[in-house]
Chain A
């Protein structure tokens, strides 16, 4: 994982975990790497990972069983919410970017349809 260097790492790892949940790479109730393993994998200070897990737990995205480890939420509702949040974010970024370029909503939909049909190409 490549980090942006001007943003706290814990926020970036939270986002990384949420993305993996949204894409289904992390399954419901699946065991998460231990703090130590995750630190090693991402080459990040242990305390940073511990802090990340605390935040994820506070938000109900993961939960921990004492002495066993941390797990992805069991709540389907939470998983859908994480997916929807990400989809909303992607669509709103797309729409805002095109509005800045002066596209009307109608034009935006037309362009998107053309793109999906493969009618627009880069350059």
Chain B
């Protein structure tokens, strides 16, 4: 039972539009996965389903043996691609809010990460820059002691220094008991962070493979592989 996530024959349509099709995927404990694909490939839909935010799909999903529901929300930490922060709160109030909301929230870890991210207790959310908001969101998500972390485009629209801080924080948060799934189209930023890649295109999984194995077999960088895989997709 080293699988945290098992997905069988997942299908999701929005009206007549097919968002996900015949998705079969297992994710193991202790690993960091990259969910790669161009815009509109279904990455966000897949993450939302795993986060328990979309329930009308067909197929079977098990997260630590349970169907996505309010129950799994307590073991799944989800970082949405849009901000879900309350703009009028301070950093301290936001931490307290999360602490009330999630039983597995580790305040000490949150505070430590905030410090590393150069966020101050009294900073007001709406006055934070885009990069600082991205730092706050990630720090809050990773301060939970979850079994599954879902990060949707954590590197979008941020400066280099923030990116480095986010990457370091993600590496420090890697644990044997939990699994991370990170969606991104910034392949080059994350390749050392990831152990395995899932390439998604138009709602289909094109490829799932260990990063090192992929390089060993092809002598190519992940960016080159990405271009190749999606050239014909």
Residues of A bordering B, CB below 8 Å: 3, 5-10, 39-40, 42-48, 51
Contacts and interface: CB of A to CB of B under 8 A. Distances in A.
B221 A5 contact: yes
Contacts of B221: 5-6
Interface of B: 30-32, 167-168, 171-172, 174, 188, 191-195, 212-213, 215-216, 219-224
B219 A7 contact: yes
B168 A6 contact: no
Given A43-B192, A45-B195, A48-B195, A9 B212 contact: yes
A47 B171 contact: no
B212 A43 contact: no
Given A5-B223, A6-B224, A47 B167 contact: no
17 contacts: A5-B221, A6-B219, A8-B213, A8-B216, A9-B212, A9-B215, A10-B212, A40-B172, A43-B168, A43-B171, A43-B193, A44-B192, A45-B32, A45-B171, A45-B192, A45-B195, A48-B212
Nearest to B217: A8
A45 B216 contact: no
Contacts of B222: 5
Nearest to B218: A6
Contacts of B32: 45
Contacts of A48: 192, 195, 212
Given A3-B192, A5-B191, A9-B192, A46 B215 contact: no
Nearest to B32: A45
A47 B31 contact: yes
Contacts of A39: 171, 174
Given A5-B222, A47-B30, A51-B212, 13 more contacts: A5-B188, A5-B221, A5-B223, A8-B216, A9-B212, A10-B212, A40-B171, A43-B192, A43-B193, A45-B32, A45-B194, A47-B31, A48-B195
A56 to B, nearest CB: 15
A57 to B, nearest CB: 17
Nearest to B223: A5
B32, B174, B195, B212, most chain A CB atoms within 10 A: B212
A46 B192 contact: no
Leading 9 A-B pairs by shortest Cβ distance: A5-B221, A8-B212, A6-B221, A44-B192, A8-B215, A46-B174, A8-B216, A45-B195, A47-B195
B185 to A, nearest CB: 17
B50 to A, nearest CB: 21
A47 B221 CA distance: 19
Contacts of B219: 6-7
Contacts of A9: 192, 212, 215
A33 to B, nearest CB: 14
Contact of B168 (A3, A5, A8, A40): A40
A39 B174 CA distance: 10
B215 A45 contact: no
Contacts of A43: 167-168, 171, 192-193
B216 A46 contact: no
